[in-house]
């Protein structure tokens, strides 16, 4: 936004900040010096996720009065909202939300709207999902506020919907039955390239609304993407094409072998039955950005996968799957999870206290004898066992040894992530998060295991019944201790002092 004063960075509103793209974009804009404001239906939950000072305002595009405050003083607004995870009737909600937002942006004098839509010619027989996204773009452009609409196809990146589907299928199925939609051409774009376009949209001259089609350097099908992923992972996979497999049947298949909800899988498949390729190349001329090809994008996603968790994941969006669910023993890509969450009457400080004190002399709160057996086995295998304890009984720090774990990430009263240093056929993490919820809090406990081959999977599933006991009991005891009016002494004994 070239007309902005050099002494005052532009204020930018990001909607969809809990989603895969919005979550990454807001951090990038914040790092670039923009004054970022996020719109959220549950501000306290988003603030807890951010873990850094950032303006978050309560608002909902389906609640017009709430938008006036959110858009006040805003120079540019990103509209990254769509209802792909919703049940039937999402078109009307998307339409109404766009109309409310467009009117509020016009009344607030917003300088520009930047919207991310989907590739697909208006002449094609588009799916209801793509039709709705194009309609949203038309509504925003009709507002009178200069609107920059980017239309993109498949987004490739660690945690993106399409990449996680590709990875799950290839990692799990040596032989795949591939319906016709697997052979339809698309023009995937790497998540980093997409973010480059979204950020660059703040700076170009925009006297009137424009639509830009954006994509990576090549046109490929899902089948070719799966073959390329398999090649880079050193996997031999065979695809058996079949002439027809309906989106409904395909979605059930995806629901069985991937982390996709069947409803989302059905909408994803419906949206790629027609080619989604760039036909208007004006974006390259205007922005001058050089984008990755599909092979480079997949390599970048695999490289990011070396970390314990992605910066954001497609199901981060609160609406992606309807009600929040607990997954125990589920899989995302080639990782297996035991994820649990529970509400606590305690505030975040009290709820987090047992978490920051875990391990060492206090033990692991449930079935400590099983932990000790595991530590003894680790010693026999040449590992570190439980003998290391912990440096400080009250406050961990990144890099601290904690029994046979090491502290990988720590944010007081919010996050503790441990990475295992025990002997296991793979990599393991144990993470605790506490977020404010009403007058209390919500505690999320996640065990993540990245198996090394078939032995790793055998290890995880052989211990699955024990994990149910240990992880379930541990979380219940953490809640009890957080809500208890008594406190633990450093030795782990109960003191009658009030907390």
* Number of domains the chain is built from: 2
Residues of the chain with pLDDT under 50: 2, 4-5, 261-262, 308-310, 314-316, 318-332, 488-499
Strands 440-451, 426-437: pairing is antiparallel
Judge if 309 and 439 occupy the same domain.
no
Whether 306 and 413 share a structural domain: no
Do the strands 76-79 and 155-156 form a parallel or antiparallel pair, or are they unpaired?
A: unpaired
321 is a domain residue: no
322 within some domain: no
Q: Please tell me the predicted confidence (pLDDT) of residue 454.
A: 80
Phi, psi of 375 (to 5 degrees): -65, -40
The rounded distance, in Å, linking the Cα atoms of 483 and 346 is 5
Q: Are residues 311 and 344 in the same domain?
A: no
Same domain membership, residue 359 and residue 270: no
> Quick one: pLDDT at residue 244?
66
CATH number at 453 reads: 3.30.530.20
Q: Confirm whether 149 is domain-assigned.
A: yes
Residues 137 and 197 in one domain: yes
**Residue 365 CA to its chain's centroid (Å):** 30
Pairing of strands 415-420, 426-437: antiparallel
Query: How many CA within 13 A on the CB side of residue 236?
Result: 0
Judge whether 208 and 149 are in contact, CB under 8 Å: no
Please report the sign of the dihedral spanned by the C-alpha atoms of residue 40, residue 444, residue 436, residue 361.
negative
Sorted by sequence, the CB contacts under 8 Å of residue 65 that are 6+ apart come out as: none
Clarify whether residues 294 and 397 are in a common domain: no
Q: Distance (Å, rounded) from C-alpha 89 to C-alpha 496?
A: 55
Looking at residue 79, its pLDDT comes to 96
Last residue of a domain, one of 316, 339, 355: 316
CA–CA distance from 33 to each of 3, 46, 182, 398, 469 (Å)?
16, 20, 41, 27, 47
Report in angstroms the alpha-carbon separations of 203 from 4, 106, 292, 338, 438: 10, 20, 22, 44, 40
CA angle 486, 489, 490 (to 5 degrees): 150
- φ/ψ of 141, rounded to 5, equals -65, -35
Q: From 214, 198, 203, select the one nearest 27 (Cα to Cα).
A: 198
Domain assignment of residue 3, yes or no:
no
SS3 assignment, position 245: coil
Q: What pairs with residue 156 in β-bridges?
A: 190
Residue 5 lies in a domain: no
Q: Which CATH number is 78's domain given? A: 3.40.50.720
Nearest to 328 by CA among 450, 447, 425, 475: 447
In a domain, 4, yes or no: no
Same domain, 241 and 289: yes
Q: Is 399 left (phi over 0), alpha (psi -120 to 50) or beta?
A: left
Model pLDDT for residues 459-469, shown as the tens digit of each residue:
888 888 888 88
The answer to whether residue 241 sits within a structural domain is: yes
SS3 call for 387: coil
Residues 405 and 444 in one domain: yes
H-helix or E-strand spanning residue 99? helix 90-108
As given in the structure block, the two tokens for residue 88 are: 């039937």
Q: Is residue 96 part of a domain?
A: yes
* 389 and 272 in a common domain: no
Q: What is the pLDDT of residue 377?
A: 81
Distance CA 243, CA 181 (A): 10
Q: Are residues 337 and 189 in the same domain?
A: no
Rg (CA), the chain: 24
In a 3-state reduction of DSSP, which class is residue 193? helix
249-265 per-position pLDDT tens digit: 666 666 555 555 445 55
Please, are residues 133 and 118 in contact by the beta-carbon 8 Å criterion? yes
Q: How remote is the C-alpha of 305 from its chain's centroid?
A: 13
Helix 262-271 vs helix 128-141: crossing angle, to nearest 10? 70
- Same domain? 187 vs 260: yes
Quote the pLDDT of residue 299: 95
Please name the residue that has the structure tokens 């995880």: 460
Contact of 404 with 424, CB cutoff 8 Å: no
Looking at residue 456, what is its pLDDT?
A: 83
- Asked whether residue 347 falls in the same domain as residue 283, the answer is no
Which of 286, 316, 346 is the C-terminal boundary of a domain?
A: 316
Which tokens go with 212?
């830009």
Note the pLDDT of residue 49: 64
Q: What is the pTM of this model?
A: 0.67
Q: Are 442 and 410 in contact (CB under 8 A)?
A: no
Q: Residue 189 and residue 168: Cα distance in Å, rounded? A: 19
Whether 62 contacts 100, CB under 8 Å: yes
In 426-499, where does DSSP find H-type helix? 453-462, 464-483
Instruction: Give the pLDDT score at 444.
Output: 92
Residue showing tokens 């944010």: 411
- Which is it for strands 401-402 and 426-437: parallel, antiparallel or unpaired? unpaired
Q: Which domain holds residue 347?
A: 328-498
State the CB neighbour count (10 A cutoff) for residue 93: 17
| Structural contact between residues 443 and 479, judged by C-beta atoms closer than 8 angstroms | yes
Q: What is the distance between the alpha carbons of residues 340 and 345, in angstroms, rounded to a whole number?
A: 17
How far is C-alpha 315 from the chain's CA centre? 5
The tokens describing 404, both together, are: 């046979």
Which helix H or strand E contains 249, and what residues bound it?
helix 247-257
């Amino acid at each position: 936004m070239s007309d902005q004063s050099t002494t005052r960075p532009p204020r930018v509103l990001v909607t969809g900040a809990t989603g895969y793209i919005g979550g990454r974009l807001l951090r990038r804009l914040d790092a670039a010096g923009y004054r970022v404001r996020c719109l959220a239906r549950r501000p306290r939950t988003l603030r807890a996720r951010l873990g850094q000072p950032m303006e978050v305002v309560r608002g909902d595009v389906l609640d017009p009065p709430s938008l006036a405050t959110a858009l006040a003083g805003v120079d540019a607004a990103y509209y990254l909202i769509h209802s792909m995870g919703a049940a039937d009737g999402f078109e009307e909600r998307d339409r109404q939300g766009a109309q409310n937002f467009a009117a509020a942006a016009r009344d607030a004098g917003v300088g520009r709207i930047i919207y991310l839509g989907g590739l697909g010619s208006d002449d094609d027989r588009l799916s209801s999902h793509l039709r709705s996204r194009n309609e949203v773009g038309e509504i925003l452009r009709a507002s009178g506020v200069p609107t920059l609409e980017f239309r993109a196809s498949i987004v490739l990146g660690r945690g993106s919907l399409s990449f996680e589907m590709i990875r799950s299928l290839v990692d799990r199925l040596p032989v795949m039955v591939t319906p016709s939609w697997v052979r339809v051409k698309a023009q995937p774009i790497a998540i980093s390239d997409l973010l480059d376009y979204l950020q660059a949209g703040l700076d170009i001259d925009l006297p009137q609304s424009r639509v830009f089609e954006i994509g990576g350097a090549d046109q490929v099908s899902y089948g070719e993407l799966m073959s390329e992923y398999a090649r880079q992972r050193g996997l031999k996979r065979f695809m058996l094409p079949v002439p027809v497999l309906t989106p409904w049947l395909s979605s059930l298949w995806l629901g069985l072998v991937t982390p996709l909800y069947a409803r989302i899988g059905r909408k994803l498949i419906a949206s790629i039955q027609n080619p989604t390729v760039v036909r208007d190349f004006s974006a390259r001329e205007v922005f001058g950005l050089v984008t990755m090809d599909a092979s480079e994008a997949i390599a970048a996603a695999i490289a990011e996968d070396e970390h314990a968790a992605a910066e954001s994941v497609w199901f981060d969006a609160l609406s992606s799957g309807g009600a929040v669910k607990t997954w125990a023993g589920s899989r995302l890509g080639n990782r297996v999870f035991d994820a649990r969450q529970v509400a606590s009457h305690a505030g975040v400080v009290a709820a987090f206290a047992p978490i920051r004190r875990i391990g060492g002399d206090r033990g692991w709160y449930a079935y400590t004898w099983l932990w000790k057996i595991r530590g003894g086995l680790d010693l026999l295998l040449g590992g570190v066992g439980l003998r290391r304890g912990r440096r400080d009984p009250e406050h961990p720090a990144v890099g601290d040894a904690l029994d046979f774990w090491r502290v990988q990430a720590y944010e007081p009263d919010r996050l503790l992530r441990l990475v295992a240093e025990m002997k296991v056929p793979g990599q393991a993490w144990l993470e605790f998060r506490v977020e404010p919820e009403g007058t209390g809090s919500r505690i999320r406990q996640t065990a993540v295991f990245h198996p090394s081959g078939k032995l790793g999977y055998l290890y995880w599933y052989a211990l699955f019944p024990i994990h149910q006991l240990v992880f379930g009991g541990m979380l219940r005891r953490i809640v009890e201790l957080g809500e208890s009016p008594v406190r633990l002494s450093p030795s782990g004994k109960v003191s009658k002092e009030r907390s």
